[in-house]
Structure 1
Amino acid sequence: MSNILVINGHQYYPFSEGKLNATLVDTAVTLLQNKGYKTHIVTMQENIDVEQQLALHQWADAIIFQSPINWMGVTWSFKKYMDEVYTAGMAGTLCQGDGRSASTPTEGYGSGGVLKGKKYMMSITLNAPKQAFNNTAEFFDGKSVDDLLFPMHMNFKFFNLTALPTFACFDVMKNEDIENDLALFTTHINKHF
């Protein structure tokens, strides 16, 4: 692994300027570059060139997706990015269609991905406290962070990417502990890269 694409999925709002997500991106890039990795950052504020983004996905050995979770999912700007870039990638850059064939139209769905050997890592920020997950008495009914991120994991699986463990910063608006989050993030990056 030598090339890392870092996608910052943050969408600016007056109450959420994106400082934490930007800090996590900068921390990851600094740590990775110090280890000899080549990195490229994409933000949702850029004018997205679809062909360039497809080339970056092919260039990357791993993709780090950094984003807040808004209303139980990714930001609308990253959803737009997926709709434009990932749909264009279905013509062979990211996958060969959905993996099915005319001779077996009901079998093999999701097996057309062409990015085998490449990895991805989800890193998210949430307003929800850590205790809200994996606890049947709390809001998420015992579900994990990765259960919440299931659609995103399936998107990356569709391209045949392999998951690295997810990282999450919890309770970032009401009970933040940024210093500890950054220390844990540094450990996470150093462990998996």
Structure 2
Amino acid sequence: MKKVLVINGHQYYPFSEGKLTKTFIDKAVSMFEGEEFEVKMTNAQEAYDVEEEVEKFLWADVVFLQTPLNWMGVTWSFKKYMDDVFTAGMMGKLSNGDGRKEEAPKKNYGLGGLLDGKYMISVSANAPKEAFNNKSETFFDGISEDDLLLPMHLNFKWFGLKPLKTFFSYDVMKNPEIDNDLARFEQHIQQEFISKI
């Protein structure tokens, strides 16, 4: 039985209550459980036990992170979660420090990861799809969604996890297409998650 750690990275604001994040998580968990995956959940803005969270990463075959894009990155509550949990796991549980050895201190930075699983990031963003991969849109200046998420990809890589294809729902505040997003999400989870683990 495959084991999936589902992390809710939402941070509550009066204009962003977390309903969409919960909807995506509920859909994903329903699909995972339908395939008889074992699921554990974490909500980064709620109280958590750091050691228990480290153990969840050790337990999981796959980590699924659902988060809004918040100031071009993850929310502050999920950043705090990473600071707490990833730091606690860094010296011998999730990684052997930064991967370098005394005899070669200039080599293999970031390659000390001890995990052998995968991860998927699913993001809801206010930016339209057309803002990415498009040099004529000067704010992002042609970068992709995964370029924007590079710090998160590197954080997971630090611990040895390998990426599954990222999912993005776009323009969720100014021009939402939630039914279409959920249909795309369901297809994405089936094709890029369930069939690949």
Specify if TM > 0.5. yes
SS in 2 for 1:42: strand
Deviation string for 1:153-189 (max 9, x for gaps)? 0000001101000000000000000000000000011
The answer for the alignment partner of 2:110 in structure 1 is 110
The answer for the alignment partner of 1:134 in structure 2 is 133
Is 1:53 the counterpart of 2:53 in the alignment? yes
Q: Which amino acid aligns with 2:108?
A: G
User: Take 1:123 and 1:40, find their aligned partners in 2: how far apart are those partners?
Assistant: 17
Q: Which amino acid aligns with 1:186?
A: E
The answer for the alignment partner of 1:94 in structure 2 is 94
Is 1:39 the counterpart of 2:7 in the alignment? no
The answer for the alignment partner of 1:6 in structure 2 is 6
User: Take 1:148 and 1:108, find their aligned partners in 2: how far apart are those partners?
Assistant: 24
Is 1:124 the counterpart of 2:123 in the alignment? yes
User: Take 1:128 and 1:173, find their aligned partners in 2: how far apart are those partners?
Assistant: 9
**Aligned residue pairs, count:** 192
Shift of 1:40: 1.1
Shift of 1:52: 0.3
Contiguous gaps of at least 5 residues in structure 2: none
Answer with 41-50 or 15-24: which moved more.
41-50
Contiguous gaps of at least 5 residues in structure 1: none
Deviation string for 1:13-53 (max 9, x for gaps)? 00000100010001000011011101111102321101000
Q: Which amino acid aligns with 1:78?
A: F
Seq. identity, %: 56
Q: Which runs of 4+ in 1 moved over 3 A?
A: none
Q: Which amino acid aligns with 2:130?
A: Q
What is the Cα-based RMSD across aligned positions, in Å? 0.8
SS in 1 for 2:187: helix
TM-score under structure 1 length normalisation: 0.98
